[in-house]
Amino acid sequence: MTGYGLVTARLQLRWALFAVLLMVAACGRDPVETRYRFTAMGTLVEVTIFDHPPLEAEAAAQDVEALFLDLQHRWDPWNEGPLGRLNQALAAGESVQLDPGLAAIIDRSNDIARASGGAFDPAVGSLVKLWGFDDAANIPDRPPSSMTIRTALEAVRPLPGIWDPSTATVATAPGVAIDLGGFAKGEAVDQAISLLRQRGVGNAIVNAGGDLRAIGRRGDRPWRIGVREPRLEGVLAAIEVSGDQSVFTSGDYERFFEFEGRRYHHILDPRTGYPSQGLVSVTVLADNAATADAACTALMVSGPEKWPGVAAGLGLDKVMVVEDSGVIQVTPAMHERVRLLREDKPNLEIREIP
């Protein structure tokens, strides 16, 4: 009976082996992907790490969380941290010299403020506070009076006018407060990616509420990013990224309130003191996350006609914007990268970067 015994043993061994292989193949067809989510900077941040030992990946993601929370504290405009103290000093009429850490980020945001012609400017902190979008406990449901807006606007000085890079000094400017809101997430994402790289992670996404930077790939395919429809349900466009790229999207649907039939959203035009008009969403594809973050704000503010010029100033060539009419405008380079998912043919316009 040895012949039959052998058949039995082989059968059962193959059975067991196959069952295991099936499980592994099915579950582990994708090498392990670690996802870690936390709240920071007023949004949901998700760290996705691919093909890295799970325990180390989880530890690295937790360090990213700690990093975000630390930066959130350091760059809060109204607490007792470095930026908060700067703003207090400014309010008291003093000029302030900054320590290197804060100086570096102020300097970077200053470069963008200049390059964008003032469409992005962090020195509008008082306006932001007036509208109240940043404060979770003090949510607006009606716009501030036009009088208060005008007063605040008059006190605003563009950052390039008061920042002196050579001495790392902010000149005296009562009524001015610096708010890094349109920039901080990007900076944090950049620093988080550096942290992950130091840990030997080669394939990851750090996604702060939809503003993300992705490195590497997801195994045998690129990372697949979805940009949601600004007004409707579902996904507007799909973008594939690999290597090292940032995809940032800003929209008027993220934080807003409606009052007497009008929508007031959180992206303020530094020149008018009111929320920007004309565009409902902007998506930027760039290398550096901080630039992409600030660019989104700058382009939203610049509006449907003028945004290509501002994009040129910021050195960007991959931009997609959606007008409030539903028309989509893309740069040629972005047109190649983006796959539009609207079922009916969308109203698409190609805009060259000057």
Q: Which residues bind other proteins (CB under 8 A)?
A: 1, 4-5, 7-8, 11-12, 14-15, 18-19, 22-23, 25-26, 37, 39, 42-44, 46, 48, 136-139, 205, 207, 209-212, 214, 218, 223-228, 233-235, 238, 249, 253-257
Distance of alpha carbon 339 from alpha carbon 158, whole angstroms? 38
**E strand or H helix at 110, and its extent?**
helix 100-115
Q: How far is the CB of 31 from other proteins (least distance, A)?
A: 14
Nearer to other proteins, 15 or 332 (CB): 15
d(CA 80, CA 74): 9
Min separation Cβ 46 and other proteins, Å: 7
Write down the H helix ranges in 119-254: 125-131, 146-155, 159-162, 181-198
With respect to other proteins, which residue has the nearer C-beta, 178 or 212? 212
Quote the strand ranges of 140-272, DSSP E. Answer: 163-164, 169-170, 204-208, 211-216, 223-228, 235-241, 243-251, 256-259, 262-265
CB pairs under 8 A, 24+ apart, for 321-324?
321/279, 321/281, 321/282, 321/283, 322/230, 322/236, 322/279, 322/280, 322/281, 322/282, 323/278, 323/279, 323/280, 324/277, 324/278, 324/279, 324/280
CB closer to other proteins, 253 vs 274: 253
Cβ proximity to other proteins, 141 vs 344, nearer residue: 141
Do 286 and 178 contact (CB within 8 A), yes or no?
no
CB of 168: closest distance to other proteins in angstroms?
35
Least spacing, CB of residue 265 vs other proteins, in Å: 10
| Residue placing its CB nearer to other proteins in the complex, 257 or 274 | 257
Q: Cβ of residue 350: shortest distance to other proteins, in angstroms?
A: 23
Q: With respect to other proteins, which residue has the nearer C-beta, 110 or 276?
A: 276
Least spacing, CB of residue 293 vs other proteins, in Å: 13
